[in-house]
A and B are shown apart, each in its own frame.
Chain A
């Protein structure tokens, strides 16, 4: 066969991508691996032996692991009935309730933690109410967030992460051809048998995709344990090693443990599920696959969903209350309400700067992602390039790569004399790129879907009339996939706004703080109204994120869920 030649534009794109991934993905990971396994050029497992011998490390890994397992378990239990309800039934207010279920995503859980401490703390609102009702003695308060904050973290992460599980599971359920269930029903299976033998195996791939995301997020979440003071977890331990990254290899070892665990999980789930990724055969057309609920069942359904919504909005409500609080000590509700906290965030140099920084970084990272995402999706869908599988896998890799790991690698790997690349001097480039890399899978997927939905013959018509490839891309293809790009871009932007671990680790100097780091730094001040100002800043972030997610969902419609799936 004749050897294919590629136009220079394609070669250029491939070179750019190789360089980008090489420097910002593989180099830092490789740097950490070297740091963890090599001493003066010699391979050693000594560090790992030391780490595993340390009770602190062992406890931290175990705690984080349990955190991940419990959060995954609870989100599953919460989500399965919800997804069943939303895919099989129609009831009053379904659209609105479905949207409300996704609201928890608009706030990183560590912001919610600030408010939750106020409500569920030992002298928080709940205990005060109970004391007033005479159910509890304030001298011996109930510790709702018991276990040194462990359960607080579990609750917050569950409430924050279940929407991701919900999107995955309900998409998987909706994808199961109703005639497959009918066939089982027809052959005599009871509803429970149908669920167990047909529905569960068929939704398993979708479920795993969501479960792994949830597990990894919970396992590596940094902000929430920090706020609750739960320090004996892997993420906080890694965070504490940032300052002595150059001298102490323990940070690398911890990161490697996280990395190995996530990679193993991904591989195991691929093994379990990947082989059974079912191409649905020809779909049946059954009218009325959704059963309409009326009367008491409808009331019960709505009440159940509302309960979940209310529970999951508790952190948001408490943050909102906190943000208006002048002072809030030993009272059920804040003693005095005020707008001052909001005024302050627009005056205080730290907060003003952080808002400006966040907007700037996020826009830049959305831009970087758009360029990279379009390139990758274009190469994958429209060009037969060698190593397409590899490119696809690399672009999806950040899903398995916790932000914590990447950021730590950047701090270690870019300790160079080049000022604009060293986060100790100027974190802008690395922050923007860290945000971009982490969200790249979403935008690639979004653009990929757009390209696939657009008939290639439209481009061929343009080429046929004499336009160059590049001109065709610019004039025909991109306008046609614009909706998907906008949605993906908005999503990248909004998640960059509220990215926690990257920001906490990489932004080291106050004038470069983004919003999340500013919130964290406010929390550690001793000024009495610091939590309130932090909350106000959190609310502002929520408003920004809500607006952008709303925009994205308008454009993407039901395909929104596809963006939150792994593998």
Chain B
């Protein structure tokens, strides 16, 4: 079922937690709400679940307006950050709960619970109590409990944040596998950009209650719209500049670190306009001849697969650069020339 939000706002007292959010989540999509803590992403999720009512705007599941539908009539299933497994019920009973309240009994109840436990690979643990399970296993049960009711929308609230790093990677793969297997519409809240980039069909990046940009992981990384998105998804070096000219294919921008030639994209810029340029650290390369920049190496950090530099630019500002497994070791204080491909200079709106 697709989900539509139109100009949704939510306030708590005087604080505007969600502001004028409009989104469409497609049927079968794994959609991410990504942002720093306090950006309103969890509130947005709870608005979908019905625990909060929007102060303004409308929420639709398919054609149905959901604004005043109570949580227990929405047919969403939320996977809580702390899993919220009922300690007095066994794993089986936890999973069966949603079926019980729907009056589904007998063989169908049994089969569907077994199925859900099979999907999350928890068949053997059906009779255990939640307290006897590890964090990762509890997570799987919470997922099974949500999946078993075949919800219109599956909501996940930072589901991996309570797991250690290794388990988190494992569960990430599990969620991808389950999504591919079931093609269930999912809305997934996280502050972890790696989780979002690796799993999402599309991501909405949020900050201060507003949606900053919606797009596929590739779009967000390659063409962030503003400084926040560029800085939140991946890293970026920023420099202000003025457009000096264009020839249809390329723009010329004068900046404090040197003149840059930028590949033209969809958005039009006119000469004299001030812009912000963003350059990813891995785009600053020694083997790139375009946009040559004279820099001085100030710090070197060897990280195994990559070598990370802090460079002093012509105007004295500092940029980050990453070189993949270099043959040549750069020394601190060395002055070198690095280039940036035309396509790797991103022009931002702000």
Q: Which residues of A contact B (CB under 8 A)?
A: 177, 179-180, 182-190, 193, 197-198, 201-202, 276, 278-285, 287-288
Give the CA-CA distance A288 to B53 in the complex, in Å: 13
Residues of B within 8 A of A187 (CB): 72, 77, 97-98, 101, 145-146, 149
Q: Is the CB of A284 within 8 A of B88?
A: no
Give the CA-CA distance A281 to B131 in the complex, in Å: 7
3 A-B pairs with the lowest CB-CB distances in the bound complex, closest first: A187-B98, A278-B87, A179-B84
Give the CA-CA distance A285 to B76 in the complex, in Å: 20
Which A-chain residue is minimally distant from B98 (CB atoms)? A187
Q: Is the CB of A283 within 8 A of B145?
A: no
Given contacts A201-B88, A281-B130, A288-B12, contact A185 B71 (CB under 8 A): yes
- B78 at interface by CB-CB < 8 Å: yes
- B302 at interface by CB-CB < 8 Å: no
Centre residue among B82, B97, B149, B162 by max chain A CB count within 10 A: B82
State which residues 94-134 of B face A: CB under 8 Å: 97-98, 100-102, 130-131
Q: Is the CB of B71 within 8 A of A186?
A: yes
- B81 at interface by CB-CB < 8 Å: yes
Q: Is the CB of A188 within 8 A of B75?
A: yes
Q: Is the CB of B162 within 8 A of A180?
A: no
Q: Is the CB of B138 within 8 A of A281?
A: yes
- Within the complex, which residue of A190, A278, A281 is in contact with B82, where a contact is CB–CB below 8 Å? A281
Give the CA-CA distance A189 to B83 in the complex, in Å: 17
Q: Is the CB of B86 within 8 A of A188?
A: no
Given contacts A183-B80, A188-B102, A288-B12, contact A281 B85 (CB under 8 A): yes
Which A-chain residue is minimally distant from B17 (CB atoms)? A287
Give the CA-CA distance A287 to B80 in the complex, in Å: 14
- Within the complex, which residue of B78, B97, B149, B162 is in contact with A282, where a contact is CB–CB below 8 Å? B162
Residues of A within 8 A of B49 (CB): 186
Residues of A within 8 A of B51 (CB): 182, 185-186
Shortest CB distance B341–A (Å): 45
Which B-chain residue is minimally distant from A181 (CB atoms)? B84
Residues of B within 8 A of A284 (CB): 80-82, 84
Shortest CB distance A100–B (Å): 29
Shortest CB distance B40–A (Å): 12
Shortest CB distance A192–B (Å): 11
- Within the complex, which residue of B70, B82, B149 is in contact with A283, where a contact is CB–CB below 8 Å? B82
- B73 at interface by CB-CB < 8 Å: yes
- Within the complex, which residue of A186, A188, A276, A287 is in contact with B88, where a contact is CB–CB below 8 Å? A276
Residues of A within 8 A of B74 (CB): 186
Q: Is the CB of B71 within 8 A of A280?
A: no
Residues of A within 8 A of B101 (CB): 184, 187-190, 193
Residue pairs across A and B with Cβ atoms less than 8 A apart, 5 shown, are: A177-B82, A185-B51, A186-B50, A188-B98, A276-B88
Contact with A along B241-256 (1 / 0, CB 8 A): 0000000000000000
Centre residue among A190, A278, A281 by max chain B CB count within 10 A: A281
Which B-chain residue is minimally distant from A186 (CB atoms)? B78
Give the CA-CA distance A188 to B50 in the complex, in Å: 11
Give the CA-CA distance A276 to B73 in the complex, in Å: 31
- Within the complex, which residue of B12, B85, B130, B149 is in contact with A188, where a contact is CB–CB below 8 Å? B149
Centre residue among B71, B75, B76, B87 by max chain A CB count within 10 A: B87
Which A-chain residue is minimally distant from B52 (CB atoms)? A288
Residues of B within 8 A of A278 (CB): 87-88, 131
Residues of B within 8 A of A177 (CB): 82, 84
Give the CA-CA distance A193 to B130 in the complex, in Å: 21
Residues of A within 8 A of B102 (CB): 188
- Within the complex, which residue of B71, B75, B83 is in contact with A281, where a contact is CB–CB below 8 Å? B83
Residues of B within 8 A of A190 (CB): 72, 101
Q: Is the CB of B131 within 8 A of A182?
A: no
Which A-chain residue is minimally distant from B131 (CB atoms)? A279
Give the CA-CA distance A198 to B87 in the complex, in Å: 9
Shortest CB distance A184–B (Å): 7
Shortest CB distance A496–B (Å): 39
Give the CA-CA distance A190 to B102 in the complex, in Å: 10
Centre residue among B74, B84, B97, B146 by max chain A CB count within 10 A: B84
Q: Is the CB of A281 within 8 A of B87?
A: yes
Which B-chain residue is minimally distant from A201 (CB atoms)? B88
Which B-chain residue is minimally distant from A280 (CB atoms)? B87
Q: Is the CB of A197 within 8 A of B87?
A: no
Give the CA-CA distance A285 to B138 in the complex, in Å: 17
Shortest CB distance B105–A (Å): 15
Shortest CB distance A272–B (Å): 13
Q: Is the CB of B80 within 8 A of A198?
A: no
Give the CA-CA distance A184 to B50 in the complex, in Å: 13
Centre residue among A187, A282, A285 by max chain B CB count within 10 A: A187
Q: Is the CB of B12 within 8 A of A287?
A: yes
Which B-chain residue is minimally distant from A288 (CB atoms)? B12
Give the CA-CA distance A30 to B217 in the complex, in Å: 77
Give the CA-CA distance A282 to B138 in the complex, in Å: 11
Centre residue among B76, B83, B88 by max chain A CB count within 10 A: B88
Contact with A along B9-38 (1 / 0, CB 8 A): 000100000000000000000000000000
